[in-house]
Amino acid sequence: MDTNQHIFQLREDFTKGTLNELDVEKTPDAQFAKWMQQAIEAKVLEVQAFNLCTVNKQSKPSSRIVYLREFENNQFYFYTNYQSRKGIEIETNKNVSATFFYPELERQIRIEGTINFASKEKSDAYFNSRPTESKIGAWSSLQSKQINSRNELENSVLQNQKYFENQEITRPHFWGGYVVTANYYEFWQGRKSRLHDRICYELNSKNEWVIARLAP
Ligand SMILES: Cc1cc2nc3c(=O)[nH]c(=O)nc-3n(C[C@H](O)[C@H](O)[C@H](O)COP(=O)(O)O)c2cc1C
C-alpha cells in the first residue's frame, strides 16, 4: 500500500481510560506525578522524553525531543547545550511549551511555562552523574552548529579524550540544566469516536489552580 494511502486510512479508536474533573488530583503537579508513575508502571517507551517548543526572536517556533530528568513543585528539569539552537531561542524568549505522549496509555500531557537556567549546583550534580563518554561528548559537540563531516566530530572526541586523560572532566560552561516553571497544564485521555477527555489546570489571579474541561 502507498504510504499516504496508509496514513489516510488509519483509524485507531481510543478505549483505554477516562478522565473526570471530579477524580483528578487537586494540583497539576500531583496529577502529573500520578500519570508519570502509571506510565512507568505500564512500561511506556521513553517515558521521560518530551517535545520542547521554543520561539526565536522572529516569533518562529521550533521543537525537539529532550529528556526530563527531574520534576517537583511544577518545575521540570532537562539538560542541554546552552549555545544550541534551543539555548539561543530561550535567551530571547522565556516562554516554552512541553508535550509528553504516552501512546501505550492513549495519553498526552501539555505543559506551558517560563524557562530559566537550573542552578550551577544542579547542573554540576547532573553532569557529574553522567558516564565518561557523555561528559566527553558534551565537550566535543558544538550542538546545532554546522560541521563538515562525522570525522570532525570524532576527532574532537579524540582530542578531548586526550586532554582529559589524567584529569577530572568538569562541566563545560556552555552546558547545563534548564528548569521550566509550569503555569498551565492539560491532561488528555483518548476516548472512543474522538470524544476525548481534556482536563486543564490554569493559575488564577490568587495563584490557585483552577480546573476546567476542554472540548475535544
Ligand atoms: C529520545 C530523545 C531524547 C533526547 N534528549 C535530549 C536531551 O535531554 N538534551 C538534549 O540536548 N538533546 C536531546 N535530544 C536531541 C534533541 O532532540 C536535539 O537534536 C538537540 O537537543 C538539538 O536541538 P536544537 O538544535 O533545537 O537545540 C534527544 C533526542 C531524542 C530523540
68 or 1, which is more confident: 68
User: Which residue's CA lies nearest to atom 14 of ligand 1?
Assistant: 66
194-208 pLDDT tens trace: 999 999 999 999 999
Distance between first and last Cα of the chain: 31
Q: Write out pLDDT tens, residues 148-177.
A: 999 999 999 999 999 999 999 999 999 999
Task: Report which residue type is found at 183.
Answer: N
Q: Which residues have CB under 8 Å from 58's CB, separation 6+?
A: none
Q: Is the CB of 78 under 6 A from ligand 1?
A: yes
- Which pairing describes strands 107-117 and 175-189: parallel, antiparallel, or unpaired? antiparallel
The response to whether residue 33 sits with its C-beta less than 6 Å from ligand 1 reads no
Is the shortest distance between the CB of 49 and ligand 1 below 6 Å?
A: yes
CA distance 197 to 88: 36
What residues does each domain of the chain span?
12-128+173-213
Distance CA 95, CA 93 (A): 6
Q: What is the pLDDT of residues 86-144, one digit of tens each?
A: 999 999 999 999 999 999 999 999 999 999 999 999 999 999 999 999 999 999 999 99
Residues catalogued as catalytic: 194
Taking the centre of ligand 1 as the mean of its atom positions, its distance from the CA of residue 64, in whole angstroms, is 6
**Distance of CA 21 from the midpoint of ligand 1 (Å):** 34
What mean pLDDT is reported for the chain?
A: 97
Q: Is the pLDDT of residue 12 over 90?
A: no
SS3 content of the chain, % helix, strand, coil (to 5): 30, 30, 35
d(CA 111, CA 183): 8
Give φ, ψ of 34 to 5 degrees. -65, -45
Q: Is 91 in the pocket of ligand 1 (CB under 6 A)?
A: no
CATH architecture label of 12-128+173-213 = Roll (2.30)
Whole-number CA gyration radius for the chain: 20
In ligand 1, which atom is closest to the CA atom of 78? Answer: 8
Distances (CA, A) of 31 to 79, 160, 187: 24, 43, 8
Q: What is the pTM of this model?
A: 0.96
Reply yes or no on whether the pLDDT at 1 is more than 90. no
Q: What is the SS3 assignment for 105-172?
A: HCEEEEEEEEEEECCHHHHHHHHHHCCHHHHHHHHHCCCCCCCCCHHHHHHHHHHHHHHCCCCCCCCC
Is the confidence at residue 37, as pLDDT, over 90?
Answer: yes
